Structure 1
Amino acid sequence: MSDHSHGVGRLITGLAWAVLLLGLWLWGRGITDLNLSSPTTGDAAAVGRPLGVELPAAHQPVGAAEPRRIDVSALHVQAPVVARGLDGGGAIDPPPYDQAGVVGWYGGGARPGERGTALFVGHVDTESRPAVFFRLNEARPGDTVEVVRADGSVVEFTVDDVQVFSRDSFDAHKAYGQHRTDRAELRLITCGGTFDKASRTYTANVVVSAYLTRVNEAPGKAG
């Protein structure tokens, strides 16, 4: 890795998460009269949908239940999920660094599996080691994301888009808005781009989009 992984390290500061909050604030209020259509960066993770990848049909949204665990086998992610809100400064509050292996779910938004967009955030690293979403920029369309829910059911999502949004031109609607309003969707979000030593934060955010494609009901609920 480059030398920014040492010393002050690749520590994600509140500034990076404040970018996420700004997008969430705008998106949650349905603002449509702002010019938010800035291009994404040229990062290699912004792959969109590769030619030749056939994606499954969407599953109908299901009843709401809070997430408890998230598994992304292609990225070797198996992590507990905790609900998070906003911190005292008004920024979305990620899990603390001593829980860098935990994924935060924005509890003020949709629950995974119900109609809408469920938002999950996680650190890419800390000052000393990789964190839960260290490999998020390696996600590709066709990868699956499984979420174990509080009612015992497992909802499976299929990745259909991977984008990197510059911190200076963050597009709230593209990052958080539904691709199709009749679906249950989710986003996995972490920091990306390059590490800026001056501000001690990253220059972009990686946003992985997925939609519901399969549901395994809790034992005793099927049928």
Structure 2
Amino acid sequence: MKTRPDSAGVQAPRRRARWVVPAVFWTCVLAVLLLVFGPRPFGEDATSRERPTPSVAGTLPAAAPAPVKSAVPSAAADPDAMPRSAPTRLKIAKIGVNAPFTDLKIGPSGALEPPPADDTNLVGWHAAGVSPGERGTALIAGHLDTATSPAVFARLSELDAGDSFEVDRADGTTARFLIDSVESFDKDDFPDRRVYDDTADALVRLITCAGAYDRKAKDYTENLVVFAHLQPTD
């Protein structure tokens, strides 16, 4: 686990003064939004300040504001894909995750609104996009840490190819996923098309921040992405 020297202060997102959210969290939200719509230069809000030292490095990047769709012939669609249904709970037995979902959406500021910062056992999904188990690429994001403690995705990097996890859904079904790979990417070389593109298969990406904390940039240097596909039902 990486730690950083203490630094004072946290940042409250603009137009949401009652929320106290780590500056790095907001940076991740904006950075991933920009990545989805094409790589463009990203500059952090000049008003941001560094936060107190968390016990685990990293914070949450967010999902895309709109699904990336391409024309996929119906005959090529994954026969095991499930109907659309909102996720209700993420279970990753290997790393002790058993967390409820919250919807992530675009707020008045034009940025994706974060989950409550004081809830360390919560994941979010891009509710305007693909649901886990549905054909396409579903996006699930979680805090790696908060300003005071580790959070739901603190141990995400411990997962390996061949591990599995489950997503309970609102229709009473459970989507089971097999992990294909767990990879970290420099934020200035993030493979946005590989991570977010539409597909004929039912896929999921679990996303959080990773790498060292760059005090000058006030950001973490990497994103961690878990690539997984839906397992066929018996």
> Shorter chain as normaliser: what TM range?
0.7 to 0.9
Which residue in 1 is equivalent to 2:28? Answer: 16
Between the aligned residues of both structures, percent identity stands at: 37
Of the structure 1 ranges 14-23 and 91-100, higher mean CA displacement relative to structure 2 is found in 91-100
Contact 1:185 1:211 in 2 (8 A): yes
1:1-223 equivalence runs, <5 A: 1-4=1-4, 6-8=6-8, 11=22, 12-26=24-38, 28=67, 60-178=80-198, 181-215=199-233
Aligned mates of 1:166, 1:89 — CA distance in 2: 27
Q: TM-score, normalised by structure 2?
A: 0.72
Provide the aligned C-alpha RMSD in A: 2.5
Aligned mates of 2:68, 2:81 — CA distance in 1: 23
Name stretches of at least 5 consecutive residues in structure 1 with no aligned partner: 32-57, 217-223
Shift in CA distance, 128/106, structure 1 to aligned 2, threshold 3 Å: same
Aligned mates of 1:90, 1:215 — CA distance in 2: 39
Q: TM-score, normalised by structure 1?
A: 0.76
Which residue in 2 is equivalent to 1:36? Answer: none
Contact 1:196 1:203 in 2 (8 A): yes
* Matched pairs, number: 188
How far is 1:215 from its partner? 4.1
More relative contact order in 1 or in 2 (CA 8 Å, sep 6+)? 1
Q: What's the secondary structure of 1:99's corresponding residue?
A: coil
Aligned mates of 1:164, 1:108 — CA distance in 2: 26
For residues 36-77 of structure 1, give each alpha carbon's deviation from its aligned partner in whole angstroms, at most 9, with x where no partner exists: xxxxxxxxxxxxxxxxxxxxxx87101111000000111211
How far is 1:8 from its partner? 4.5
Task: State the 4+ residue runs in structure 1 displaced beyond 6 angstroms.
Answer: none
How far is 1:170 from its partner? 1.8
Q: What's the secondary structure of 2:37's corresponding residue?
A: helix
How far is 1:18 from its partner? 1.3
Q: What's the secondary structure of 1:13's corresponding residue?
A: helix
Shift in CA distance, 114/126, structure 1 to aligned 2, threshold 3 Å: same
How far is 1:9 from its partner? 9.0
Name stretches of at least 5 consecutive residues in structure 2 with no aligned partner: 11-21, 39-63, 71-77
How far is 1:113 from its partner? 0.9
